[in-house]
Amino acid sequence: MRTTHIHQLKNSETFKQNLLLWSQQFDDIVWLDSNNHKDQYSSYDAVLAVDAFTTIRTDYFDAFERLKEYQTLTNDWIFGYLTYDLKNTTEPLKSNNFDGLNFPDLYFFQPKKLFFIKDNQVEIKYLKMVDDEIEDDLKAILNDVERHSERRSLSEVEVSRSSLNDIKIKLRIHKDSYFEKATKMLSHIQRGDIYEANFCQEFYAEDSEINPFETFNKLNAISKPPFASFLKFEDKYMMSASPERYIKKNGTTIISQPIKGTAKRSGDKKEDLKLAEDLSLDPKERSENIMIVDLVRNDLSHTAIKGSVEVKELCKVYSFLQVHQMISTVQSKVEPERNVVDIIKSTFPMGSMTGVPKISAMKIIENLEETKRGLYSGSVGYFTPKGDFDFNVIIRSILYNESKKYISYSVGGAITSKSDPLKEYEECLIKAKAMREALEG
């Protein structure tokens, strides 16, 4: 049983910053922040889960079956991540590319301490607490502003020095090689092997150190996305400015919101509106999105009540600080007794990060990319005790192995028959801009 306490907040933004900073003492952290995007499907403004009571970590072999068992046994809130390479447990696929990060393929934990922020209220749920623990923690979060500010200032100096002197971003795939690989992808499309595939490339830094908390704050300030997340697992970190929801379950309703279609922003209001309008009308971008919508409809149909899959929103353009994005919303209904992990397994990996047909696209992706995707293009989120869940898509994210001093961020884009390799490469650089700025200053 969890002990619940509700506290009214005077300033939720200040509380959020202090709460995330306070959380850094723990080995297991999942922080989810909507950045005040009032998504009609959102349950909370921000969520923090820390301090593992129980955990599951595993490679891809039988990963979903192990997660199903863990989720059933805990019958509690569990938070964690699914890497892209869980594809190898759902299909006869492999991941043999270079991996500089070494995240386990799947990791979830049952947190002792949970914070749910909505409007100007925080709901706190503790497991196995000792007397006055909630009150003591609240006092530390609310009253240690001066000490936190001092620590923040020191951290900013450390990050600034690191960014200016140490971080040298390298490309795993250089420009000429990218063009060559994109051309090979187009050849597969022309032969009919696939219709679309998401082709990604890694940017990385070796022998480099960052302050993950400060780096996340920089990245989040640059982008302010609706699915921002910070994850810490022992010596491994993820700092994500994701704009994309993968999948959400609320009761018997399933929602998936794939993104396909990107355009840059402009400081000139008239030009910016024109960029958004052009994106909404672009036949190449629309065809990318519609193909993935069809794939998502098919994925959801595996667990849906017959006839319940519907497209609620098609190719709508949403504007974020860095980019305009084309987003569609697909919904289905499931039977109440349908296992929640099976719903995710039947749709994973998400269509927006694979291609059409999905299995053929994933095979070609593995052959042409140079880096094991791992956590990138996977998902982070949670399950509730009632069997609901909410997971994002891990894109626009910085991954960091502190022990190996290895920093990585990857970007990609959909290749279709209408793709121009030069424009696809330029789109990748637009998507990479926020991560580079957060690291280099």
Q: Which residues are catalytic?
A: 244, 260
Contact between residue 327 and residue 318 where contact means Cβ atoms under 8 Å apart? yes
Cα distance between residue 371 and residue 102, in whole Å: 12
Across 274-312, b (16+ Cβ under 10 Å) vs e yields ebbeebbebeebbbbbbbbbebbbebbeebbeeeebeee
Write the CB contacts of 309 (distance below 8 Å, at least 6 apart in sequence): 297, 300, 301, 330, 331, 332
Cα distance between residue 403 and residue 207, in whole Å: 10
- The number of residues in the chain equals 441
> 398: exposed, middle or buried (C-beta count within 10 Å: 0-12, 13-18, 19+)?
buried
Across 32-71, b (16+ Cβ under 10 Å) vs e yields bbbbebeeeebebbbbbbbbbeeebebebeebbebbbebb
- Distance of CA 375 to CAs 30, 59, 131, Å? 14, 12, 38
